Amino acid sequence: MIDLELIRKLSRGLFPDLLGVTFVSASRDEVVAELEVRDALCTVPGRVHGGAIMAFADTLGAVGTALNLDAGAGTTTIESKTNFFSSASPGMSLRGHSIPLHRGRSTMVWQTRITRPDEKLVALVTQTQMVLAASQSPVEQMAALFARGDTPDQQTLLATLERSGGALYREWAEAESDPEARAALLAAAAREDENAELLESLVSRAKK
């Protein structure tokens, strides 16, 4: 069950809150919300601004996409198409009902129907959301490297990293004026070389 209060809390003080969006229900398969038309949302007296309608729908589609994302991933709208069918005036409570048309790895498409209290269709909005991959920490990036391939492939990769580390330690040692620090760096380089040799021997043995 989606925590509506959490969605409301996350949007508090931001544009959906300024617009006046009230979430009614939310799940991975649909998002429903309401928007009361007021004078501040009108383009001329008595007629809601089309931009308010589009922003209302965009909010629902973005929330729906967010509910389908992996942890840490994000989203942004890259395309939106709106067809207007009727107007709405101050005092009307509009209802937006958004459903997914496509849920892919890189994009998602959501369609939102916005209706008046008399159920007359005000607008139909179809938007495309780009899926922004979660950024990985250095530890996660390293884990991802070793998650691929069989054990010999992983050992070969690690041996290469150990060799590179040893070379880097020796380079630092050459530039170090402190004798103790220089010795410690050279010792670290030797350990990296030893690790690389062990891994290379294991790979060679596995190939026989």
Q: Are residues 68 and 147 in the same domain?
A: no
When divided into structural domains, the chain yields a total of 2
Domain end marker among 132, 149, 176: 132
- What is the percent of the chain where pLDDT is above 70? 92
CA distance 86 to 71: 39
The reply to whether 109 and 37 lie within a common domain is yes
Domain boundary among 104, 132, 160: 132
Please report the pLDDT score of residue 207 as a whole number: 77
Same domain, 123 and 181: no
Average per-residue pLDDT in the chain? 90
Residue 11 has pLDDT above 90, yes or no: no
Choosing from 132, 158, 185, the residue where a domain stops is 132
Convert the pLDDT of each residue in 63-80 to its tens digit: 999 999 988 889 999 999
pLDDT digits (tens, 9 = 90+) for 149-183: 677 878 888 888 888 888 988 999 898 888 888 89
Identify the pLDDT of residue 144: 66
Q: Which domain holds residue 13?
A: 4-132
Q: Using CA atoms, how far apart are residues 106 and 122, in angstroms rounded to an integer? A: 30
CATH of the domain at 39: 3.10.129.10
- Cα 63 to Cα 78: distance, rounded to the nearest angstrom: 15
Does residue 119 sit in the same domain as residue 191? Answer: no
Q: Are residue 107 and residue 178 in the same domain, yes or no? A: no
